[in-house]
Amino acid sequence: MSTLLSQPLTSIAAALRRGEVTSLELVEAAIARHEDVGGPLNAYKSWNADEARLQARAADAAFMSGVDLGPLQGLPVSVKDLYGLKGWPTYAGTPRRLPERWEQEGPVVSALRRQLAVAIGKTHTVELAFGGLGVNPHWGTPRNPWDARAHRVPGGSSSGAGVSLLEGSALVALGSDTAGSVRVPASMTGNVGLKTSFGRWSTRHIVPLSQTLDTAGFLARSVADAAYAFSALDPSWGAWPALEAAISEYDLADLRIGIAGPPLWDDCSPGIAEAVRGALDTLAKEGARLKEAPIPEAAAAIELFHVGGVVSAECDAFLEKELPEWRDLIDPIIKIRIADGGAITARELLLRYRRLDELSDSVVGRFGDLDVIACPTVALTPPTVEEVSDLNAYRRANMASLRNTSIVNYLSLCAITIPVGLDRKGMPVGLQLIACHGEEERLLAIGLAMERVLGTPRERLGAAPLIPS
């Protein structure tokens, strides 16, 4: 059964529909994987094996009655602990359970429920989703399985999501992305991560960080799995065959890739830029056309990210309105960042909103005749938890981890990260493909064309040292 769990989602879904395997058997295998390796990895805030079994039996009963409710029926999916999930507590990374209203299910989770997917558990998040490293002093930081010796961060804020995929307890992992919170953990754990365009997927009943920048998204084990999951979850795509047809139209000979200039390729840890460039060169040998494509707006967006204000101010306002009693419980590192926003004037906040709109309008012209623009997803090797225990060290590493991903949110774009190699420390490296707002289908189509040449993450990277083969 563990062999079947490692198969593409299309193969697993087909086996379910042919009656060769049941959802309960899949879920039992996922539970066994979690019990085997999940303890030290700490992917989940909430885990209930019996509840997962009940959901699996419901999916099997539907299959036996000839009822097929959607592509994800019977498949185990992990859910970030920002999403409301009926019957499960929501902590949002804080030390205290949030009020019951934050357990209501929004449209993304409802899509899972309608299809009788199995919500296998709720994964850890950085407190209030405010951080890119994955650190959480209240509940412990999930361990990145790619280092068997040191406890390295898994990326955040969807810190347990990528780990849940690697341990084999989930086949898709729901996350959210405000400055990189899907793509950073995907890159750091060797998974695929899709950051959807702002407004494409509803964020209702997901604990907010920033009403201006929050997006719902997910992590998957391959681009093919990501395309399958997207077709199941996206409101405008009702079936896998429709997206599959769009994907089949892309050929590498038609692919035009822009290479983003500074600062997105600057100051990378050893082996990161080399791995990304090597993957792009491989694609060029197969016919893809590469072209230098500077994005001047990126530097301005990074500057806005560094000075903060928008996210901090909106998080501060959310706490004041919804969770005032939580303020004294917040980790000092997060509290300092929120306080920075709480002090900003309304005039300055409005000016920053206007500046974001100006940059977002301007960047569209940079794509021109390009399909996508490429850069490393994350510029630094995942640090150890010890290395970022100091406040200043944490701030430097956090900013570095989010530098390349934050511009996508700040410039109202969409992006996907694809694993392409290992850095000098043996940690995964992600290639980020950026496209204009609303072009997720293009990203997935291009990503799958690339995956056919580069191989799946498992084929290209091998197995994480802490995960049994």
- Which 3-state string (H, E, C) describes 114-125? HCCCEEEEEECC
Q: Say what percent of the chain tops pLDDT 70.
A: 96
Taking only the tens place, the pLDDT of each residue in 12-60 is: 999 999 999 999 999 999 999 999 998 999 999 999 999 999 999 999 9
Question: Would the pLDDT of 209 be above 60?
Answer: yes
> At 197, which amino acid appears?
S
- Among 23, 78, 157, 164, the one annotated catalytic: 157
Is 181 among the residues known to form the active site? yes
Cβ burial 311-331 (10 Å sphere, 16+ → b, else e): bbbbbbebbeeebeebeeebb
Question: Would the pLDDT of 247 be above 70?
Answer: no
Question: Would the pLDDT of 244 be above 70?
Answer: no
pLDDT at position 450, please?
95
Question: Would the pLDDT of 239 be above 60?
Answer: no
Cα(151)–Cα(168) distance, integer angstroms: 20
- Among 45, 80, 122, 195, the one annotated catalytic: 80
Taking only the tens place, the pLDDT of each residue in 62-75 is: 999 999 999 999 99
Question: Would the pLDDT of 248 be above 70?
Answer: no
Confidence label for 237 from pLDDT (cuts 50, 70 and 90):
low
Token couple for 16? 């379910």
Taking only the tens place, the pLDDT of each residue in 142-162 is: 999 999 999 999 999 999 999
Q: Domain limits of the chain?
A: 2-461
pLDDT at position 308, please?
77
What CATH number belongs to 2-461? 3.90.1300.10
pLDDT at position 299, please?
95
pLDDT at position 44, please?
98
Confidence label for 337 from pLDDT (cuts 50, 70 and 90):
confident
Residues 364 and 436 sit within 8 Å (Cβ to Cβ): yes
Question: Would the pLDDT of 217 be above 90?
Answer: yes
Question: Would the pLDDT of 240 be above 60?
Answer: no
Element counts in the chain: helices (H) and strands (E): 18, 11
Taking only the tens place, the pLDDT of each residue in 270-311 is: 999 999 999 999 999 999 999 999 999 999 999 999 887 799
When pLDDT is averaged across residues 87-97 and rounded to a whole number, the result is 98
Taking only the tens place, the pLDDT of each residue in 101-128 is: 999 999 999 999 999 999 999 999 999 9
Question: Would the pLDDT of 246 be above 70?
Answer: no
Burial class (CB in 10 A: 0-12, 13-18, 19+), 413: buried
Question: Would the pLDDT of 338 be above 70?
Answer: yes
Confidence label for 1 from pLDDT (cuts 50, 70 and 90):
low
Residue 234, C-beta contacts closer than 8 angstroms, at least 6 positions apart? 200, 201, 440
Local structure of 76: helix, strand or coil? strand
> At 128, which amino acid appears?
L
Question: Would the pLDDT of 242 be above 60?
Answer: no
Taking only the tens place, the pLDDT of each residue in 390-446 is: 999 999 999 999 999 999 999 999 999 999 999 999 999 999 999 999 999 999 999
pLDDT at position 339, please?
84
Q: Say what percent of the chain tops pLDDT 90.
A: 90
- Among 46, 181, 187, 406, the one annotated catalytic: 181
Residue 178, C-beta contacts closer than 8 angstroms, at least 6 positions apart? 129, 157, 209, 210, 213, 214, 215, 311, 409
Taking only the tens place, the pLDDT of each residue in 259-273 is: 999 999 999 999 999
pLDDT at position 334, please?
92
